[in-house]
Structure 1
Amino acid sequence: MMRHCSSPWNWLLLCLSLLLPACSSYAPPRTLVGMSRDELVALMGPPDMERRVDAGTRLEFPRGPYGQHTWFVYFDAAGRAIRAEQVLTEQNFNRILPGMAQDEVRQLLGRPSEVQGLARARGVVWSYRYENPFCDWFQVELSLQQQVRSAGYGKPPECEQRDGIFPF
């Protein structure tokens, strides 16, 4: 006699197995070298931004839960993919310096996860979530002249301590 097992563990395994294929287009494929722009966009969806760089172009793909990854995919002049990199890294954050133009920040890090205005119209703060063990984000304060005033690490709202208990 065959017994039907409907334990909660079986349902959890079923749900996880259905979600795994959805992660396949999260990052660029390992075999992207030589792919056309159209082939890559068919796999990853439309990019957030397309920029001219050197002798080719770059597509920018913000990704992940809370936008913790941003992939830049580079194409040569013939329109073939040559490499990809995940740019939300501490190495890139350390390149953000006071006086840098807002567009330079966008070129290094892509679109921020959140944008918040400062009181008395003093500028804005761009926040970048990124993968790290400390639940930090990187923040860039921009002046009204669209230049970096300051930059550093902080805690996003979902990681703030509330009533002595961390939500995670």
Structure 2
Amino acid sequence: MRMFWWNLTVGALLSACSGYGPPKDLTGLMADQVVAAMGPPDAQRVVEGGTRLEFPRGPAGRHTWFVYLDASGRATRAEQVLTEENFIRINPGMSQDDVLLLLGRPGEVQGLARSRGTVWSYRYENNSCLWFQIEMAQDQIVRSAGYGELPECRARDTAFVP
């Protein structure tokens, strides 16, 4: 019973600090208000007309929020970018920077054997136990991209072999 109350208390304290997603109506909020609500951004990028704050909710999170600010620093919109619509836009030949502009930081990065590059993995909301993976060559160019089975699903499938 003590553990229940401990978990409840810690959860309440953490949620008081920042939220997982953006406030329901963030339009017009100043950047510092967005950060107070969501925590510090992972990245801040200059985009046309202003700035974009990036809030990946990984490594196990299934969302990355981009919050757009106008030139005066006021929030204009937010979008969750880990979607299949964005994944299909990832193609061989794209640069690492292009991928970061579209999806933000990956939840997990694994090196490939013989220094052939890395695999970037993005968890996302789906019912199929999949994640989206991008093979990045050493020259930071996309070699391939597609869907793979989450490691915890593979472990679950082989756990009860008769």
Q: TM-score range by the shorter chain?
A: 0.7 to 0.9
Cα distance in 1, alignment partners of residues 40 and 10 from structure 2: 23
Residue identity (%)? 62
- Structure 1 stretches (4+) deviating beyond 3 angstroms? 15-21
Superimposed CA distance per residue, residues 102-154 of structure 1 (whole angstroms, 9 cap, x where no aligned partner): 11001100010100111011111000000100110000001111100000000
Partner of 1:75: 69
How far apart in 1 are the matches of 2:56 and 2:121? 13
Is the contact made by 2:67 and 2:75 (CA closer than 8 Å) also made in structure 1?
A: yes
* Superposed displacement of residue 163, structure 1: 3.4
Which of 75, 86, 94 matches 2:80? 86
Structure possessing the higher radius of gyration over alpha carbons: 1
The answer on 1:162 being equivalent to 2:162 is: no
Q: How does 1:143-158 map to 2 (within 5 A)?
A: 143-158=137-152
CA separation of 1:110 and 1:50: change in aligned 2, threshold 3 A: same
For normalisation by structure 1, the TM-score amounts to 0.84
Over 3 Å counting, the alpha-carbon distance change for 1:149 and 1:65 in structure 2 is closer
Report the CA distance between 1:67 and its aligned residue: 2.1
Unaligned ranges ≥5, structure 1: 1-7
Measured after TM superposition, the shift of residue 43 of structure 1 is 1.2
1:17 Cα offset (Å): 9.7
Q: Given that residues 42 and 54 in structure 2 are in contact (C-alpha distance below 8 angstroms), is that contact kept between their aligned partners in structure 1?
A: yes
After superposition, residues 23-42 of structure 1 pair within 5 angstroms as: 25-42=19-36
Number of the residue aligned with 1:4: none
SS in 2 for 1:38: helix
Aligned to 1:53: 47
Of 72-81 and 20-29, deviating more is 20-29
Please state whether the residue corresponding to 1:25 is helix, strand or coil.
coil
1:95 match? 89
Q: Any stretches of 5+ residues in structure 2 without a counterpart?
A: none
Q: What is the distance in 2 between the residues matched to 1:102 and 1:119?
A: 19
Taking structure 2 as the reference length, the TM-score comes to 0.87
Distance change >3 Å, CA 131–CA 16, structure 1 → 2: farther
Could you give the per-residue CA deviations for residues 10-57 of structure 1, whole angstroms, max 9, x where no partner exists? Answer: x97xx7798578297110001100000001111111000000000100
Query: Secondary structure at the residue paired with 2:105?
Result: coil
Cα offset for 1:164? 4.0
RMSD, aligned α-carbons: 2.3
